[in-house]
Amino acid sequence: MAGIHAANYVKSGMKVGLGTGSTVKYTILELGRRIIEEGLEIKCVPTSIATEKLSIENNIALYELSSLNGLDLVIDGADEFDKDLALIKGGGGALVREKIIAQASELMIVVADDSKRVEKLGKFPLPVEVIQFSWKETRRKISEITGLPESKIIKRVVNDDSFISDNGNYILDLHLEIIEDPKKLENELNSLAGVLDCGFFCNIANKVILAGSKGIEIIER
């Protein structure tokens, strides 16, 4: 419901960022339907290899971000959001590309279900993308900054192998539980040389399209 509803904000002539994840999948499918059935004409930028593949399968024209001089909007999911529409993203591992495209967009629309709404961020582990070189030293510095023991800073693994991002990096998932000041922690983590970026999206999202038991709810910042 949320994914399809978000596609209504897309009009012909727009430049659109396409997020990553299970909810945005339905936005992409709906845009593909509108391109074929309604003649919708849009230029899109994917946030991940998976989104690129799905977009091509659905006849969506893709472009390099730098060729478009900014985007009108991006539609993406979130792993958590709070009352200020601060987000944790990166459960799918595409957080850096997602943030680059979100910052290039005039409007960020988040599609989510009610389970993603929280009082304070942190129950969902915070993803931090780190370069492979001396990643254990980066983990040690993250432990110093956060006060988390290294046992709660877990390198992401898929099928017994290290998860590798589309950028060729590792992801560390920080099990913080409650984060009092996301912006401060974002700045501290991003100051470390081994950190490419973290999964906080603060003061970026403009609107959440929330699907719940009572239907669609629109939350705006």
- How long is the chain? 221
Element (H, E) at 37: helix 24-38
* Amino acid code (one letter) for 78: A
Residue type at position 81: F
Cβ-proximal residues to 124 (8 Å cutoff; 6+ apart), any chain: 79, 80, 88, 91
Q: SS3 of 200, please?
A: strand
Measure the CA–CA gap between 82 and 115, rounded to whole angstroms: 11
Type of residue found at 66? S
The dihedral built from the CA positions of residue 141, 145, 147 and 152, taken in this order, carries a sign that is: negative
Active-site residue, 186 included: no
Q: Which of 52, 98, 129, 186 is catalytic?
A: 98
**Gap between the Cα atoms of 42 and 16, Å rounded:** 7
**Ramachandran assignment for 17, one of left (phi > 0), alpha (psi -120 to 50 degrees), beta (any other):** beta
Active site residues: 98
